[in-house]
Amino acid sequence: MFATALPSDAAATIPLERRGRGRLVVEARALDGRTVRGRIEEEGFARVRFPRSGRRGRALEAVMINTGGGLAGGDASQSCLHAGRDAHLVVTTQAAEKIYRSDGATSRIAVELTVEGGAGLHWMPQATIVFDGARVERSIGAEVAPDARLLLVEPVILGRTARGERLSYGRLHDRWRIRRGGRLIYADGLQLDGDIAATLDRRATAGGWAAFATLLLVAPDAESRLDDVRVALGLGGAAEDVEPAELPDGLDAGASAWDGMLSVRLLARDGAPLESAIRRAIAALGVGEVPRIWHS
């Protein structure tokens, strides 16, 4: 899932008129107790497939594909995903999204999620791998009905760690805005610029580690899962009958819950302990398994 082997070390120097654009719209709707495809739009390098093996009970699984193989300087990607009333949609990616070293232009990624009443939407892409010298800005926005469920899983690997590469310079900006019933309930942001290696080496940031993830569950019962998640990650639980535990080697983690949300932060030495922790956290959340394509 989190493999980091990849092509060219050269910066992506691409004429403006040849820079890639991709836009994808996926709408899912409920029909006779199951979820079926609604409106689908594909533009540019963005494609989506619905594997037969991806249908799990009431849920419909969609696999997003970037036919360009990654994003280079100046490319832009937009994904609009909509789970209609009582529909259940799981969205993942065919492979890790690679952000290549840039010639100076910034790539942009926008993800827009809508979850109607009684519906569930799981946004579970494979890891984003940020090459040294890459420049990318990403925004994730969601509108969730009060009785709906949204699960966000976003792993990021800084540099091709399997090749000994680390992210030393470039630009990584990440912005999350989640609204429930029209009210802003979650806002998050990350900005890495300039001498990124020095920033990541600080103990208060990453301590030299190169992989991290955020998991966010928005659901009426989200807070009830906190102890299970903490135990699964090796954090121990708040309940008196839960034994304290130790974090696995190469992993740091934290989990908290409030106001119908549960948030998990993971920081890891590299992709292997990160993926393992993500799988354990998802299992503990009780919202299903990771997408099947993660096993390929």
For residue 170, give its domain range: 19-295
Per-residue model confidence (pLDDT) at position 113? 99
Average pLDDT over residues 249-266: 96
Structure-token pair, residue 79: 């994904």
Percentages helix, strand, coil for the chain (3-state, rounded to 5) are 15, 50, 35
Report how far residue 91's alpha carbon sits from residue 50's, in angstroms, rounded to the nearest whole number: 10
Q: Using CA atoms, how far apart are residues 276 and 111, in angstroms rounded to an integer?
A: 25
With bands split at pLDDT 50, 70 and 90, how would you rate the model's confidence at 156?
very high
The tokens for 117 are 């009443």
Q: What is the pLDDT of residue 5?
A: 41
The answer to whether position 8 is within a domain reads no
226-233 vs 271-285: helix crossing angle, rounded to 10? 150
Establish if 13 belongs to a structural domain. no
Rounded-to-integer distance, Cα 22 and Cα 187, Å: 26
* Helix, strand, or coil (residue 57): coil
Would you state the pLDDT for residue 163?
Answer: 79
Q: Give the highest mean pLDDT range of 202-211, 219-228, 235-244.
A: 219-228
pLDDT for the residue numbered 240 = 46
* φ/ψ (deg, to 5) at 294: -60, -25
Q: How far apart are alpha carbons 204 and 285 in whole angstroms? A: 28
What is the arithmetic mean of pLDDT over 41-54?
A: 89
The DSSP code sequence of 123-144 is E-PPPEEE-TTBEEEEEEEEEE
Instruction: Estimate to the nearest angstrom the gap between the alpha carbon of 56 and the chain centroid.
Output: 20
**Mean pLDDT (whole number) for 148-174:** 91
Does position 273 have pLDDT exceeding 60, yes or no? yes
pLDDT of residue 193: 92
Question: Is residue 6 situated within a structural domain?
Answer: no
Report yes or no on 9 lying in a domain.
Answer: no
The single residue listed with the structure tokens 């970037």 is 66
Residue 2 falls within a domain, yes or no? Answer: no
Residue 243: pLDDT band with limits 50, 70, 90: low
Which two tokens mark 13?
A: 């120097």
pLDDT of residue 162: 73
Contact 126, 1 (CB under 8 A): yes
Confidence of residue 295 (pLDDT cuts 50, 70, 90): confident
Q: What is the pTM of this model?
A: 0.90
As to burial, measured by CB atoms within 10 angstroms (0-12 exposed, 13-18 middle, 19+ buried), residue 35 is buried
- Phi–psi pair at 53, nearest 5 degrees: -70, -10
Q: What is the mean pLDDT of residues 266-292?
A: 93
- Tokens 């409920």 found at: 30
Q: What is the pLDDT of residues 50-97, one digit of tens each?
A: 997 545 567 999 999 999 999 998 999 999 999 999 999 999 999 999
In this prediction, residue 294 carries a pLDDT of: 86
Cβ atoms of 103 and 13 within 8 Å: the answer is yes
pLDDT value at 241 more than 70? no
| Mean of pLDDT values over 93-119 | 96
Residue that has been written with the tokens 């100046």 in this structure: 74
Residue 50 lies in a domain: yes
Which tens digit of pLDDT belongs to each residue from 221-234? 999 999 999 999 99
Q: Is 1 among the domain residues?
A: no
Domain count, the chain: 1
CA distance 119 to 133: 40
5: in domain: no
- What was the pLDDT predicted at 272? 92
Average pLDDT of span 259-281: 95
pLDDT on residue 6: 42
How many CA atoms does the CB half-sphere of 227 hold within 13 Å?
9
